[in-house]
Amino acid sequence: MTGLFVLFALFVVLGAYFGGTESGISAMNKIRMKSKADDGDKKAKNAMFVSNNFDKALTTLLIGNNITYIAAASVAALIASKLFGTSDLVTTLTTVVTTLIVFFFSEMIPKAFANDRADTTARAMSGILIFLMKILSPLVFFFSAISNAATKLSDRFFKSEAEPTITEEELYDIIDTAEEEGVVDEDSSDLIKSALDFSDTRARDVMTMVEDIVAIDVTLSNEDVAKLIQSTSHSRIPVFRGDINNIVGVLQVRTFLRSYVKNKKKSFRSLLMPVYHVSPNAKIDDLLSEMRLHKFVLGVVSDEDGETLGLVTIEDFLEELVGEIWDEDDVFDRNFIKLGGDHFRINTHLSLGEAYKRMDEPCPFENMENEPVISFVMQEFGHIPEEDESIVVGNLEILVPGQDGDGIDYVEFHLLTEEDISEIGEEAEG
């Protein structure tokens, strides 16, 4: 009898190994484990081998689980028959007790333990599992062949699409979790998120709007150009013929000034650099590569009809990663800052009417024109908005970025085009 009790306990422990190992391998941090494996950690290498051959490993674990559970139940039945004889009541009680023991000690407790210490469990148990995968390889091959056949048969009736291992939303959650746990600080977290958003940002989202462009008429004299340059801090200025929709070149201020000092009669038109035209829908990560390759610092954003919509610079692209870059000559009102591409950062204490006035737009919310922006924001959200939460009201997108304090000191307004509204609608439907 002692031998039977020991054998039963052994099968329960083996079941705990199989159940805990499955949870540990499934829940381990693959990125952290790969880093340890690359550093020469043998146990981490074993864990990565199991993870990379997870189908075979899972089949091995399932075979082991079933063998141990059946064996434990058989031994328990033998013990009960020797102690209490055979009857329906004894059989029923033995089944219930065995199921509870297996559930608690071979499933729930080891799996909870392994989930809580997934990396440690995976490193500790993978070596034994690799050995079992080799020993049970004939059975693994047999059952895997049946599983693959069943999968192919089901694919004929239920088409399955390949999904990425991790989605963009899950990646953002990982970054937020890393920040909350102190793995990365807030600035690093924001920089990583900005880098992720960078590839989705288009020229129209960051451009300087056409009404804010400082440009030079090609018919101006050198003296007039010199006076205009004195009133601006730009290093490159577009030059147009007739109107702003016909930009014929870009004047580099430093080159012009050197030429002007040497020879005031030399026409600035001979110094013009070619124009780099940009589609408003062009992604800024592609533009950054192209402009750096061809040494363009400034691009003219034009629509299909050749109408000038605005300007983009490499500085605009970098600001999407690191935030606003202010020169010592920049003059700005902290209550209202143009961010480019019809994006504005607005102090929430500014009145809604004043905010729309500065955006050169009529305020569509007449009943709230004299109310502070914060009142309008709270009304539209219907609650205190969280960081990075946004809402669309008509042709206005309201974004609440991260704040330094507890209150909401500023928000970002984005005036949407019909194309923007259409894209938002398609994303919502998707």
Q: Which two tokens stand for residue 117?
A: 């210490």
Distance CA 48, CA 28 (A): 10
* Per-residue CA distances from 425 to 39, 135, 200, 416 (Å): 48, 56, 17, 12
Same domain, 260 and 189: no
> The domain spanning residue 416 has which CATH number?
3.30.465.10
- CA 303 to chain CA mean position, Å: 30
Query: Residue 264 half-sphere exposure, CB side, CA atoms within 13 Å?
Result: 4
In the structure, how many helices (H) and strands (E) does the chain have?
Answer: 18, 12
pLDDT confidence band for 423 (50 / 70 / 90):
confident
CATH value at residue 296: 3.10.580.10
Do residues 50 and 131 lie in contact, with contact meaning Cβ atoms separated by under 8 Å? no
Q: Are residues 107 and 16 in the same domain?
A: yes
What was the pLDDT predicted at 148? 74
Residue 163 lies in a domain: no
- 11 and 129 housed in the same domain: yes
Q: Which of 31, 29, 39 is nearest to 120 (CA)?
A: 29
- Structure-token pair, residue 79: 């013990």
Question: Would the pLDDT of 326 be above 80?
Answer: no
Query: Residue 126 domain-assigned?
Result: yes
Asked if the structure places residue 345 within a domain, the reply is yes
In this structure, are 308 and 388 located in the same domain?
no
162 in a structural domain:
no
Q: Does residue 221 lie within any of the structural domains?
A: yes
**Residue 388 near residue 239, CB atoms below 8 Å:** no
- DSSP-derived pairing of the beta strands 236-240 and 216-217: parallel
Q: 318: how many CB neighbours lie within 10 A of its CB? A: 14
Residue 178 and residue 226 share a domain: no
- Domains identified in the chain, total number: 4
Q: How far apart are CA 290 and CA 264, in angstroms?
A: 35
Does the pLDDT of residue 265 top 80, yes or no? yes
Q: Is residue 263 part of a domain?
A: yes
Q: State whether 103 and 117 are in the same domain.
A: yes
Phi, psi of 343 (to 5 degrees): -105, 135
Higher per-residue pLDDT: 379 or 187 = 379
371 and 320 part of one domain: no
pLDDT of residue 324: 63
User: Same structural domain for residues 178 and 230?
Assistant: no
Rg for the chain, CA atoms, rounded:
34
Last residue in a domain, options 259, 292, 327: 327
Domain boundary among 275, 293, 327: 327
Q: Report the pLDDT value the prediction gives residue 300, as an integer from 0 to 100.
A: 92
pLDDT digits (tens, 9 = 90+) for 57-106: 888 898 888 889 899 888 888 888 888 887 888 888 888 998 899 888 98
Read out DSSP for 33-53? HHHHHHTT-HHHHHHHHHHHT
CA distances from residue 105 to 15, 50, 378, 422 in whole angstroms, order as listed: 8, 24, 52, 56
- Which residue, 262, 257, 206, is CA-closest to 236? 257
For residues 27 and 90, state if they share a domain: yes
Q: How confident is the model at residue 238 (pLDDT cuts 50, 70, 90)?
A: very high
Strands 277-278 and 247-252 turn out to be: unpaired
Cβ-contact 283, 200 below 8 angstroms: yes
- Secondary structure element (H or E) that encloses residue 410, with its range: strand 410-415
Mean pLDDT of 187-199: 76
Q: Is the dihedral of CA 73, 77, 79, 80 positive or negative?
A: positive
pLDDT at 42: 92
Q: Are residues 323 and 344 in the same domain?
A: no
CA-CA-CA-CA torsion sign (190, 195, 200, 205): positive
- Residue 18 shares a structural domain with residue 146: yes
- Take residue 183 and report the two structure tokens written for it: 């793995």
CA distances to 89, 183, 193, 322, 329 from 186, in Å: 63, 10, 11, 13, 29
Indicate whether 220 and 282 sit together in one domain.
yes
**How far is the C-alpha of 48 from the C-alpha of 246, rounded, in Å?**
60
Which whole number is the average pLDDT over 272-299? 89
Domain assignment of residue 193, yes or no: yes
- Residue at a domain's end among 294, 327, 360: 327
Q: What is the DSSP letter of 351?
A: B
- 72: containing domain: 2-157
C-alpha span between 105 and 68 (Å, rounded) = 13
Q: Tell me whether residue 99 is in a domain.
A: yes
Residues with Cβ within 8 Å of residue 410, at least 6 apart in sequence: 345, 346, 347, 348, 401, 403
Phi, psi of 128 (to 5 degrees): -65, -40
Confidence class of residue 246 from pLDDT cuts 50, 70 and 90? Answer: very high
End-to-end CA distance of the chain: 64
